[in-house]
Amino acid sequence: MDGYFWATAVVGAISTVICLVAGIMGKKPNDVTILSVGAVFLVVLVYLVGSIIRVIAGEHLRGAAWEFWGYMLTALVLPLGAVYWSVLERTRWSNFVLAVVGVTALVMAARMNQIWY
């Protein structure tokens, strides 16, 4: 497991807890929940840049490249879609949608790590 995985895991877990607690408390999406998902997006963006640099430097994926980049693209699109949803539908349920992003990013980072190594 590399640093990119651990960063995504920690930020994703924290974001999930924040959004779950807000949803359970019946709160509407707010700056804290939306910014926590923004943090997930940023850490995945850093993962993307780091991966591009590693490939340019000559490192090779052990698994299928299309699968790795597919996971990466999905991990980047999910936070954007969830935030868009939470802005359009400002109910407590949107916080649960936001919570799924952190867990999903964590699982995708684990899978990307398996494909890389």
pLDDT of residue 12: 96
Q: For position 1, what pLDDT does the model report?
A: 67
| Residue 64 near residue 115 (C-beta atoms within 8 A) | yes
Mean pLDDT by 10 residues, the chain (117 residues): 90 96 94 96 96 92 91 95 92 92 94 90
Confidence (pLDDT) at 109: 94
* C-alpha to C-alpha distance for 36 and 95, rounded to whole angstroms: 11
HSE, side-chain direction, 13 A CA sphere, residue 117:
9
- Is 15 within 8 Å of 81 (Cβ atoms)? no
Q: What is the 3-state secondary structure (H, E, C) of 28-96?
A: CCCHHHHHHHHHHHHHHHHHHHHHHHHHHCCCCCCCCHHHHHHHHHHHHHHHHHHHHHHHHCCCHHHHH
Distance CA 65, CA 115 (A): 8
